[in-house]
Structure 1
C-alpha cells in the first residue's frame, strides 16, 4: 500500500462491491442480513483437539474467581514487524509481554483482577468496551478514574455480568488516539457456562498503523485528521502481525471466530470468500444465528462479531476473509489439513443461548426521550471528490453533541432514575458517518418506520451523515456513563457526552 508523506491527508476508503459511505444504513442495522433458521443446539461433546492458527495470540492472563492478588499487565514500548524485511521493525507500544495484543479469557462468573502498569510516556486508562461494568471500573480516564500517570499503576477488578467478546481500548479524555495508534489494545473473552461445541475458538483483532517509508509511525495530533476521517493507517495487521494471517483447521472442523476492530478510525466492510459463515453474536451479545447477506459485514471501530463456520471436508485452501478496500485486501486465509474431525452426533450450526440477564422487552410507552444532534468537523467539498474544506476552529473542540464538546468537568446531559427506559434519537448533522458507543449498557436499535427493533443487542452504532438513529435501553447501571465516538481522534476533540443514572 502506498505510504503518504508525513503531513498527507488521509485517503478516502474505496469499497468494492459495496455501498458508498452515503448509502450505509444506521449501525449494525446496516447489516441488512438475511435471517438464518438455526437448528436446535447439538448435544455437548468433547471438542476434537484444536489446530492452532498461525500467529494466533496466547492468552495474556487468566484471572481466577477466588480472592487473589491482581495480575500485572504492562503497557510499555516494544518493537513490531509491520513491514517486510529489509525494513526495520517499528517502535510501538504493547499491552502485555507477547508479540500480539493480549487475549484475556475467563469463564462467566469469574473476576478480572489486573494491575495495569503504565511504562509509557502518556497518561493511560483502559476501557472494557462492551462490558456492562460497574462505573468505577469502566476505564475512562478523566471521568470514571484518574488517568494512570507514567510510572504508576491502577488495579481493575470486576466480574462481567455477561458472556461475550469484548474489546480493551485506551480511553483518556483528550488523549486516547495516540496510545491506540501506537498499538495498545486487547480482547476480553468471557466464555459461556456451556459454550457451543467447536473444534477451534479463534480471536482476530484488526488494527491499522500510519507509517512512513522507513516503517516508523508518523506523528500524532494532526487537526486535519481529527476534523475529518480520523487517523487512517496505511498498514494493516491481524493479531499484531502482517496480513494475510494463515488459519488452519482439520477437515470438517467447526470454528468459532471472534472478530474485533481496534483501528483508530477505519470502518470497512469485510467479505467471506469460499466459506459460509453465520453470525452468532453481535457486540458480544447472542443473536439468533443468521447468514450475512452476500457474505459481507460492516466493520466499524469498536464492533465485534462472533461467527461460526464449518470447514470443508477435503484438505486444501478453504477461503479468505477480505477487506473491501481498493481492489480487495486479504486479511486472513483458511486452509484444511490433518485428520478429519469425527462428525458423529454433530448437528447443524446452532445459536448461542440468549442472555437471560437482559429484558425480554423494552416498554417504550413510559420512556424518557431525548434528542441528540452531532455537529462539527469539516464539510466535504462537493466540487472536489475526496476533498474537504480546511478546519479553522478550536482544535480541542472540533466536535459537539447538542452544541457542546465533551470535557472532563462538564455536567451530564441529563439524569434519570435507575430502571428508567431511555429512547435517544441521534441525528448526524456532520459531513461524515459517525460511530458511537454506549458505555455501561446495551441497547436495541429501533426501526425508523415502525415500532419494531433489530433482533439483537448492541453497544455500538454507525450513523451515516445526514441521517438519524433511535436507540432504546433500560438505564439499570448506576453511575456517570458516556456516549462516545469510537473514532478516537474525534473522541479526543469533543465527540462525547455523558448522562447520569441515579
Structure 2
C-alpha cells in the first residue's frame, strides 16, 4: 500500500517516543585484526558545507579505518585519541554501559592540545554507538565533531545491507563560517544538515532486498523527526539496545540529539521507484535521503519474513520498582550551587552528587522540565526504561537519552548495576543553550 508523504509540525515532532562527520556513506564491513586497535585523530579536515560552497576546514574525528569503525561483540579495543585541535577535549561514548574507566570527566581528564589519551575498551554489547567530543565544546571556535561506532552481534542478522545514516546540524555565522553552540556565541543562521558528511544520502536497493539502517541524530542541539515514505519501518533497536520490534507509525521516527535508532526496511516498492526520507525540525521539511529501487531483477522472489528480535542476552535487568530509590531531578537550574547542574568546563568531583546508590538497586528518576523549551536528558553508563504515567509499567525498549517537552514530567527507571562515578547531562533544544552536567555514584 502506498502512503502519502508525512508532514510533521513542531507539535508532532515533540509528541514522539523521545527517542564519521566527513566520511562518505559506505556499507559496514568487518575489519578483523588481532589485537584490535582504534586510532582516533581529532583534527581539522576539509568539508563542503552545502551545495555551491567551497570546502571549509572543520573540526573532525578521523579514524584509521576506511569506513565506519566496526568491531564484534566481546572484543577489546586499544584506543588512542590524539587531540590535534586547539582546545582540550574528552571522548564521550554514548550507549556503552558499565565502562567506568572511560567515563569522561569522572575517570578521564581532558586531553590537552597535542596530547594523546590511551585506554582499553571492552565491547560487551552489540549496537550502534556514537562517540563525540562535545562535553567541553560550548562556545569554542567551531562545532565539536562526532563519529559512529558499530559493534556487530555475535550471531549473524538476516539482512542484505547494513548502512549508517549519521545526521549532523551545522550553523554558520554572517561570514559563512561554522560556529559552535552555547551561550554567548555569535548569531547563528538556519541549520544546515549533512548526512555522512554529504548534503544527502542515496542508496540503491534491489527489489526484495533487506536493509538495516542505523540512524544517528548527531546534531548539536536539534531534535529531529524523519519520515520514510511508502515503506514499512520496523524499529529493531533504540540507543544501542534491542527493542521489542514494532512498526513506526506512518514511517515516522523522532530522535533527540544523541539518539540512535536501528530499523529494518524491505525494498517492496516497484522497480524504478524511490522512497524519500524527509527531515522535520519544526521548520520547513527537507529531503535528506532517497532509497531507490533498481530496475534490476529482484534479489529474491519474495520479501524475507518478518525479522526476529535482535539478541537480547546483554540487556540490563528489569528494574524492581517496589524497592527503588526515588530521586527528583529538575532539568533546569537557575543557580550554580554545588548541588545544581553545572557547566562541564567547571566540573569538580568534589561537588555533591545528585544521588548515591548501592550497586544493584533500582533508581527511579522524576525528570521535570520547567523550561520554556524541550530539554534533553542523557544518562551515562546505564540504560533506563521510560515508565508509564501511572508507574505501573514501561515502554518496550531501553533508552539512554530522552526528550522531555516544556513543562512536562517523565519518570525513568534503571538498575544501577555498574559501580563507578557517572555523569548525567541536560540541555534544551536551542542552539544557545548551555550543556550542563551532574554526577551520581554507584557504590
Identify the TM-score tier after normalising by the shorter chain.
0.7 to 0.9
2:364 corresponds to which residue? 423
Alignment counterpart, residue 217 of structure 1, candidates 166, 173, 178: 178
Q: Specify the SS of the correspondent of 1:20.
A: helix
How far apart are residue 112 of structure 1 and its match? 2.3
Give the structure-1-normalised TM-score. Answer: 0.77
For residue 69 of structure 2, give the secondary structure of its aligned residue in structure 1.
strand
Partner of residue 81, structure 1: 48
Structure 1 position 295 matched with structure 2 position 251 = yes
Instruction: Indicate conservation of the 8 Å contact 1:76/1:118, yes or no.
Output: yes
Contact 2:35–2:77 (8 Å) recurs in 1: no
Q: Give the CA deviation at 1:62.
A: 4.7
> Which consecutive residues of structure 1, in runs of 5 or more, have no partner in the other structure?
1-14, 32-53, 378-393
Distance 1:97 1:159 in 2: 18
Structure 2: segments with no counterpart, 5+ residues: 1-5
Partner of 1:434: 375
2:331 is paired with a residue of what secondary structure? strand
Residue among 317, 328, 347 paired with 1:371: 328
In 1, Cα distance between equivalents of 2:92 and 2:427: 11
After TM superposition, list the pairs within 5 Å mapping 1:37-436 onto structure 2: 55-57=24-26, 62=31, 64=33, 66-67=34-35, 70-85=37-52, 87-96=53-62, 103-138=68-103, 140=104, 142-172=105-135, 175-177=136-138, 182=143, 184-212=145-173, 215-218=176-179, 221-223=182-184, 234-243=191-200, 245-312=201-268, 314-325=270-281, 326-337=283-294, 339-343=296-300, 347-359=304-316, 361-376=318-333, 403-405=340-342, 407-409=346-348, 410-436=351-377
Post-superposition CA distance 1:377-432 (Å, at most 9, x none): 7xxxxxxxxxxxxxxxx8xx5xx896443542123122111111111111111111
Cα distance in 1 between the residues matched to 2:235 and 2:122:
26
Cα displacement (A) at 1:454: 0.4
Structure 1 range deviating more: 178-187 or 419-428 = 178-187
8 Å Cα contact 1:246/1:334 also seen in 2: yes
Asked if structure 1 preserves the Cα contact closer than 8 Å seen for 2:158 and 2:307, the reply is no
Deviations 1:176-206 (A, max 9, x none): 2367953511111111112321111010100
Q: Deviations over 1:118-137 (max 9, x none)?
A: 11101111111011141121
299-308 or 231-240, larger mean C-alpha shift: 231-240
Distance in 2, Cα, partners of 1:361 & 1:401: 32
Q: Which SS does the other structure have where 1:366 is aligned?
A: coil
Instruction: Please show how residues 487-498 of structure 1 align to structure 2 within 5 Å.
Output: 493=434, 495-498=436-439
1:485 Cα deviation (Å)?
2.1
* Contact 1:372-1:401 within 8 A present in 2 as well: no
Which segment drifts farther, 251-260 or 484-493? 484-493
Deviation at 1:361, TM superposition (A): 2.8
Cα deviations by residue, 1:71-129 (Å, 9 ceiling, x for unpaired): 422111111111223x32122011116999x6211111112222111111011111110
How far 1:489 sits from its partner (Å)?
8.2
TM-score, normalised via structure 2 length: 0.87
